[in-house]
Amino acid sequence: MRRYVYITLLMLTGPACRREVDIPVTADFSWELADNNRTVPVSVKITNKTAGADHYQWTFDGGEPAGSTQRNPGVILFKEAGAHKITLEAWNDDQRQNKTLTVETDKLVDIGFDAKVRINDFSPVQVDITNKTTGATTYKWTFEGGEPAMAEGPQPPPVTFATPGEHTITLVANNGSKDFTYSTRITVKPALQPAFNIIPSFEDEDGQAPLTAALENKTISGLSWQWSATGGIIDQPAAGNTSITFTAPGTYQVTLTASNGKENKPVTKSITVLPNTNLRTLKDIRLGISSAHSAIGCFYSTKLRQVFRKGDDLTDAGKDIDLVFFGINQGFSSAKFLSPDSAQYYTLGAIPGAMATRLVNVQESCSCGITFSAADFDNMTDDTPLRKIRIPDDGSGDTPFDNSVTPRIILFQTKDGRKGVISIKQFVQAGQQSYILADIKVQKMPV
């Protein structure tokens, strides 16, 4: 098909005439990226700007579709990275013209890396990073709280994290046109901090020899242990928690050396073991009158150092009850301590496994010849005075007392042979909740 332009020439000297002229073909087009994305897969929109052509042949190197004969081929998809030529051949019956443009597409980045902790995760933590990223041309690393704090390049150096807590490692990889980001977290545990407590056993809380104490490990971030001492016998020197026994008085140093695979650290504490007085002092014991037996309590164990109330389950503790207090009324007109094996005769019910305790409630009415004063009680610092006492088992000390004498001194001897003294220092009148307030000094072991 030919195109003509008719040009009329008006001549002054002759008739009008017509001339036939060909229109030239100008092959032209442009392209633009969909979403401004150059990373494959890339969509390219073609805009044909050709003039004078009747026919078109497009070739898309590596594209889908590979070619087209349409004036406007629409959007072409490129799935592979690289330089892709787009060629247009345009023509009419007389002319042909070609134009080629190149589209550069970037690789798709597959981003990722491994962060491996050396040895363990106790501070300081060293991390080795293995980059597994493909398709990128530049790499930027940031290490939150790390040393170094950042790096560039495909393979960063080892990173050290000293501060406990979570730390984020981030990689931003770029393929020339687009950033890709990947992060992971490293948790750092605190650094090794050895610590322990020395806790005397219940029987030895007065700190006197012989003394057994628990060694309570309070170390932070430890894995293995070694205990040592300047004296005493340690039960299991390599255990996390163990115990130590001292047979003689003195001041001793106990050391725990803790390790976590990175470092060893010792910590030392001292303990002073006092000479054995064989005397235990129990203070401010409240025991109620008959109407307060269920609320305040009336049973007492010098071994357990505990008050029990009427109605408590004494299945296990019954055998350790040493003293029973019975007071008729809030005026304390008639009160006394009872042997546990006689509790059932005083509306208290039988005590399971009850043992017999010898008592002298009123020294002045006892024919036993014992004189033990309040001053003797206050001045007693070991069990020597108690060793001299002989408490009869004939019931001669069973006489009730009232509140006319304060402090009131009561003597007793338990079934296992331990001797003791009760000092009632206060008769508290509080209606049905009236009670006595007493201190007790008793032998730890019978002599």
d(CA 271, CA 250): 8
Q: Which fold has domain 196-273?
A: Immunoglobulin-like (2.60.40)
DSSP code at position 317: T
Q: Indicate if the pLDDT at residue 19 is higher than 70.
A: no
Q: Indicate if the pLDDT at residue 437 is higher than 90.
A: yes
CATH 3.40.50.720 fits 113-188, yes or no: no
| Every domain of the chain and the residues it spans | 29-105, 113-188, 196-273, 279-443
Query: Using 50, 70 and 90 to split pLDDT, how confident is the model at 316?
Result: very high
Q: What angle do CA 129, 132, 136 make, to 5 degrees?
A: 115
CB 320 within 8 A of CB 409: no
For the domain covering 29-105, report its CATH number.
Answer: 2.60.40.10
Long-range contacts of 27-31 (CB under 8 A, 24+ apart): 27/53, 27/88, 27/89, 27/90, 27/97, 27/98, 27/99, 28/99, 29/86, 29/88, 29/99, 29/101, 30/101, 31/86, 31/101, 31/103
* Two structure tokens written together for 361: 């409630």
Q: Look at residue 21 in the predicted model and tell me its pLDDT.
A: 54
The model's pLDDT over 25-78, given as tens digits with 9 standing for 90+, comes to 999 999 999 888 888 999 999 999 999 999 999 999 999 999 999 999 999 999
d(CA 187, CA 182): 17
d(CA 232, CA 430): 50
- Sheet containing strand 224-229, edge to edge, reads 224-229, 250-259, 264-273
The model's pLDDT over 78-93, given as tens digits with 9 standing for 90+, comes to 999 999 999 999 999 9
H helical segments located in 289-383: 374-379
User: 113-188 and 196-273 share one CATH topology?
Assistant: yes
Q: What are phi and psi of 398, to 5 degrees?
A: -90, 5
Specify the DSSP element, H or E, that contains 385.
helix 384-387
The model's pLDDT over 374-397, given as tens digits with 9 standing for 90+, comes to 999 999 999 999 998 999 888 777
The model's pLDDT over 128-150, given as tens digits with 9 standing for 90+, comes to 999 999 999 999 999 999 999 99
Cis peptide before 400 (omega within 30 of 0): no
Mean pLDDT score across all residues of the chain:
93
